[in-house]
Amino acid sequence: MATPVKPRVRSDVVFRQLDEEWVAFDPVAQRLHAMNLTAALVWEHCTGELTLQDIARAVHATFADGGDLSAVERDVAEMVERFRTEGLLE
C-alpha cells in the first residue's frame, strides 16, 4: 500500500507530549513510539486534510532556519511512510 496523498493518523492512537519528548501509543498493537520534535510536528499535521507538500511547508515554516524545503519534503515523506509501515495511519 502506498503512502496516502493526504495522510491521517489513527484516532485511537494516544499522542502526548511528556516533558521534552513526544510519544504515540498504539492501543491495539500495545506499542509505544517515541518521537522527536520534527516527527511530532509531522504527526500533528497528519489530519487527512493536508498533502505531504502542505505538511512539509508547515514544518518548514515552524523553524526559523528551516533549511532547504525539498530536504524537509523528503524527511516528511520518510516519516509519513514510517507511520504507515507502523500501522499508525488510517
Partner 1 sequence: MNPDTVARLRDACARAAQTLGDTAPEGARRVAERLGVAGIVTPAAAPARDVPRLLGALHGQLLRETATTISAAFSAAGLPHVFVKGIVFVDDLYPPGARELADIDVYVARDAAPAARATLESLGFRVEADDPDRGPSPLRPGLTLVRAATSDVESAVVDLHWGVEPLTSLLPRDRTPLPRGVWDRARQGRLPAPCPGDHAALLVHHLVHHDFLHVVSLVDLAVLWPQVLADEGTTFAATARALRAGRVARIVADVLARDLGLARPPRLEAAPSDWRARRLAASLRLDRWLAWAAAAGPSTRAAITPGRVGRRLLAVEHVWNGAGVVWDALWPPQAHLRWRWPEARTRLGALARHWGSVGRKVAR
> Which spans of this chain sit near partner 1 (rule: CB under 8 A)?
12, 14, 16, 18-19, 21, 23, 25, 27-28, 30, 32, 34
The least CB distance from residue 27 to partner 1, in Å, is: 4
Q: How many residues does the chain have?
A: 90
The DSSP element (H or E) to which 43 belongs, if any, is helix 37-45
The least CB distance from residue 15 to partner 1, in Å, is: 10
Nearer to partner 1, 36 or 85 (CB): 36
Residue 9's DSSP bridge partners are 89
The least CB distance from residue 17 to partner 1, in Å, is: 9
Where does 1-90 show beta strands of DSSP type E?
14-18, 21-26, 31-35
Nearer to partner 1, 17 or 70 (CB): 17
- Of 27, 16, 15, 1, the closest CA to residue 85 belongs to 1
